[in-house]
Structure 1
Amino acid sequence: MNGKIGMQAFSMLLAVLLVSVMMVSVVSAGENRTTSLVEGPEPSRYAVTPDYITDDIKIADPLDESELITLVFSESWILENNESTDPRLVKLTAEKSSLTAHQGCDAEITTFYSPSEIRDDEGIVVLRVPKKMLALFNKRPDELTIDCPADFFTFYPSIDQLYNDLQEKRS
């Protein structure tokens, strides 16, 4: 019988100890929270959502065609000259003297530049970027350097498809 009372006393003691530990944790957590809120929130513990005032946001005007440059590469040239080992990136270097200016199929289509010959039956890769951005890539005045994600490029099955796309965008 004493063993049964001892077991009940031990169980009761464990229950009281467990409740005490939980009460101390709850009280301590409440005190710490109140103290930290008075002193200010810790950046690592609280996420603060910025209050955006939409009146101050000004959307940039689209760039004028004169501020953009269009570079056209044959698919084979890109594959041969891509210096990047990562398939998601394209890193190209070409001599600026090798760039040839090409006029579109009519006078209204923008001139583009290419470091290689573009055949009618070959797939092409097009990069349209702001001239200022391209200037940031280039450290040497005699070289054209492009180092950007492959997502910046547009792929066309032929140069004629590019011309059709440009004419549709003008309409």
Structure 2
Amino acid sequence: MPFEFTILDALQALRCPVLDALAVFFDAAGAHGELWIALTVLALAFRRTRKAGFAMALALCLYMVSGHFILKPLFARPRPCDIRPEMLTLVARPHGWSFPSGHTASGFAAAFALWFQNRRLGVPALVLAAFIGFTRLYLYVHFPTDILGGIALGLAAGALGSPLADKVSNRLSNCKEVKRTV
């Protein structure tokens, strides 16, 4: 853990009003996955991106089950701000355990699923997910390994959510074609 505190402490040198405001905004926007849920609903609303939205929804559900309900309680890792409470100055202490980062995992799950379905939309989503992961370090609420764990879990959930969406979509298409021929 000492090397992780070294990284967290070094990031505090980046403190500035603009990054502070962005970090606080994304903390609130991602506290319960609101940002990624909103983007998923938006993708589901349009026929052209509906399958991508479905892939994102599946990826987010996979993260919730594996990350939030299984891994966080299993590891029960305290947050860096629990060990050094004086460093938590911009936001209230988040609820729950530190590993893996839920903000990061949900972001990468939705963004990677989107990337599999639509590269043009997926690239900026992945950049946003990475920035949100950075803000978790900047706010002193996650260790670097929490972020790495969140990225790995999110990528896995996205990589599973996308082919599942493809499979369901293909089955639905086959059912529609069978109905037309009957």
Q: What TM-score range do you get, normalising by the shorter chain?
A: under 0.3
* Higher RCO, 1 vs 2 (CA within 8 Å, ≥6 residues apart): 2
TM-score scaled by structure 1? 0.22
- Bigger share in strand: 1
- Larger gyration radius, structure 1 or structure 2: 1
